Amino acid sequence: MLRLVKKGVISSVDWFLYQFLSVSQKEKLANMLTEKQKETLKRLMNPGKKRAQIRKIERMKYRLYELGFSEKAVDDLKLLIEEDHFLKKYAAWELAVWYVNQYCKDGAEQCLYYLEIALDGEKDNGAIRRAKILQAECYQRLGNTIQAYQLLEAELKHSQHVDLYLGLVSLSGDVKEKEQLLNEMYAMYHLSPITFAGEDHKTLYDRLTSLLAILLTKKQKYQSLYQRIIPQIQLVRQ
C-alpha cells in the first residue's frame, strides 16, 4: 500500500515538474537546493525508466523552443506518438501547444488532432481544463465561435476557474454578458464588481471601471458640492 502511495506521489511530482516548469525554472529550483538535499530527493524519487523518458521529451521541448530546431523536434515528437505508449500523451500535448502557437487555421486543425490524443484516458481535471481552453481557441480561429463558447460554458459547470471565465469573456460579443462573467469571476475573489461606463465610442478597456470607484467619485463630487454650498448658506443666515 505504501509503495502505491509513493508511486502516486512521485508520478504527480513528475507531471508537475514537466507540465508547469520550464528547463530554466527547473535549473533555478535545483540551484536553490544543497547537494545533500539533491541527493535526498534523488534517493526518494528513484528516477527510473519513466523519468528518463520524460527527460527525453524535455530535451525535445528545449530544441523546439530554445534552439530553433523546430522541424526536427516536431518530427521526433510525432515519432514518439507512434513508437512510445508511455510518452504518447506527453508528446501529443507538446505538439498541440506548438501548433496552436502558429496562429493559423492549419495549426488550429493540427492542435485539435493532437489534443484528442493527449486527452485520451486523461483524468486530471487541470489537464482537461487546459486542453478545453486550447480547443476553444482553435475553434474560434477556425470561425466556430459558438462551438468554442459552448465548450467553455460546459466546462465551467465542472470547474469554476478564472481562465474559463476570461475565455468566455473573450468569446462573448455582448457587453452585458462580458460584465456579468467578469463579476462572477471577481466574486470568487471577493473583489468589487465592475461595469463598463463612459462614451460608447471608447474601447471596452477604456470604459472598464469598478462600481466602488464610481461610488467614490460620486461621494467626492457631493462632498465638494457640500463644501461650496454650506458657506453660502451661512452667509445668507448672517
Paired strand residues for 208 = 196
Contact 95, 113 (CB under 8 A): no
Q: What is the chain's pLDDT, residue by residue, as a tens digit (238 residues)?
A: 545 544 555 555 555 555 555 555 656 666 777 777 766 666 655 555 556 666 767 777 777 777 666 788 888 889 888 887 778 888 999 999 999 999 999 999 999 999 999 999 898 899 999 999 999 999 999 999 999 999 999 999 988 899 999 999 999 999 999 999 999 998 998 888 888 877 778 888 788 777 555 444 544 444 454 454 444 444 444 5
Q: What integer pLDDT is reported at residue 97 of this predicted model? A: 93
Question: What confidence score (pLDDT) does residue 219 get?
Answer: 45
DSSP state of 210: E
Q: 0.75 exceeded by the pTM?
A: no
Residue 59 burial (CB count, 10 A): 13
